[in-house]
Amino acid sequence: MKRSDVQRELDHYFHRFHNPGFIASDPISIPHRFSKRQDIEIAGFWTAMLSWGQRKTILNKSHELMELMDHAPYDFIMQHKPRDRKRFEHFVHRTFQYTDSIYFLSFLQHYYQNHDSLEDAFLSGQGALDLAAFHERFFSLPDVPQRTRKHVSTPIRKSSCKRLNMFLRWMVRSSTGGVDFGLWKKISPRDLYIPLDVHVDKVARHFHLIKRKQTDWLTVIELTKVLRKYDPEDPVKYDFALFGLGVGL
């Protein structure tokens, strides 16, 4: 297909899937339960980090997580005592276990005691989006459990960073379509990277948008560069088209 034909096809499916009807069966439905910015950030971040496996299971476990935080994640993070973490003892999602919950709680409490928004944790010293810098900050507390590092990806390890990029899409892209939140203003939608999972990868290769054989961080860069040619200001909007086609919505 010609580039113009591919773009026309992707634009068509973007408009088909980019609407509030997308929310109910997607993990983004969890942060959509809240209106306070910090609640949205915490619920969105933790849900995104749990987003692997069947979507039904992801939603169920994320609902369980919100219940453990009394359906007020920011208040819980700020006010809970170490003894309150005991309630997470039986919270497990695939390889995410109690030790990992303890560290997530520790980091988020420490961070929000010193910062108003999680957005700043994703910025480099020059104010640019930097996933590697976020990874370093997230694991900057003493006595980080080694096993927990696998639950937050980094491009330094060549990961596609799908879950982080999905979370960033939620926080940064405009809320105009009723799906993403558009809460963060220091990061521009033009600087986001496509959340690359098996569904997006499959459809992108079908349209010959990817030449690289592997699926890793360099593949994310390759695909995002192509999508920026279609829409320089909002390239990751095509996540809706590629993902929607991939899962057969």
Q: Is 27 exposed, middle or buried (0-12, 13-18, 19+ CB in 10 A)?
A: buried
pLDDT at 87: 97
Q: Are 147 and 98 in contact (CB under 8 A)?
A: no
Residue 129 pairs in a beta bridge with 123
pLDDT at 71: 98
Per-residue pLDDT reduced to its tens digit, 126-168 = 999 999 999 999 999 999 999 999 999 999 999 999 999 999 9
Please measure the distance between the N-terminal and C-terminal CA atoms of the chain and give it in whole angstroms: 23
Instruction: Give the pLDDT band of residue 248 (cuts 50, 70, 90).
Output: low
Residue 123 pairs in a beta bridge with 129
Q: For the stretch 102-124, what's the b/e string if a residue is b when 16 or more beta carbons lie within 10 angstroms of its beta carbon?
A: bbbbbbbbebbeeeebbbebbbe
Check: pTM over 0.85? Answer yes or no: yes
DSSP reduced 3-state for 47: helix
Distance of alpha carbon 154 from alpha carbon 160, whole angstroms: 8
Distance of alpha carbon 209 from alpha carbon 203, whole angstroms: 9
Residue 96 pairs in a beta bridge with 93
Distance of alpha carbon 221 from alpha carbon 225, whole angstroms: 6
pLDDT at 21: 94
DSSP reduced 3-state for 215: coil
- Taking 90 as the threshold, does the pLDDT of residue 123 lie above it? yes
Per-residue pLDDT reduced to its tens digit, 70-118 = 999 999 999 999 999 999 999 999 999 999 999 999 999 999 999 999 9
Per-residue pLDDT reduced to its tens digit, 180-235 = 999 999 999 999 999 999 999 999 999 999 999 999 999 999 999 999 999 999 99
Phi and psi (nearest 5°) for 114?
-120, -10
Instruction: Give the pLDDT band of residue 249 (cuts 50, 70, 90).
Output: very low
What lies within 8 Å, CB to CB, of 125 at 6+ separation is 133
Tell me how far the alpha carbon of residue 18 is from its chain's centroid.
17
**DSSP assigned state of 72:** -
Q: Are 168 and 129 in contact (CB under 8 A)?
A: yes
Q: Are 170 and 118 in contact (CB under 8 A)?
A: no
Q: Are 225 and 198 in contact (CB under 8 A)?
A: no
Per-residue pLDDT reduced to its tens digit, 36-71 = 999 999 999 999 999 999 999 999 999 999 999 999
- Taking 90 as the threshold, does the pLDDT of residue 11 lie above it? yes
